[in-house]
Amino acid sequence: MNEPTRLAPRPLTDLTTEEAYTLAVQAGTRELPDWKAIENEDWGRDFLLQFLAELPAAKLAEWGLVVARDA
């Protein structure tokens, strides 16, 4: 039988603002601004990606994510 194909981890920078917000809420490690306050703001996505990048690598791996893609 063939082994299942493993997908390469997805870099955080590939996440949309909505995806990043959903994961940040799931992480539940700190209070976040309301979605309406950040959804269309220039700083909103950057804020969320920075927050997610501070999570343990093991947590990101559970979601199939990495901080940066290897070059």
Is 35 a domain residue? yes
**Domain residues for 54?**
10-66
- In this structure, the number of other CB atoms found within 10 A of the CB of residue 23 comes to 19
Q: Is the pLDDT of residue 60 over 70?
A: yes
Is 4 a domain residue? no
Residue 29 DSSP class = S
Give the mean pLDDT of 33-55. 92
- Arithmetic mean of pLDDT over the chain: 88
Give the mean pLDDT of 23-50. 91
pLDDT of residue 8: 81
Is 5 a domain residue? no
Is 58 a domain residue? yes
With beta carbons less than 8 A apart as the criterion, state whether 39 and 17 touch: yes
Residue, of 69 and 44, whose pLDDT is higher: 44
Residue, of 37 and 29, whose pLDDT is higher: 37
Total domain count, the chain: 1
- In this structure, the number of other CB atoms found within 10 A of the CB of residue 48 comes to 25
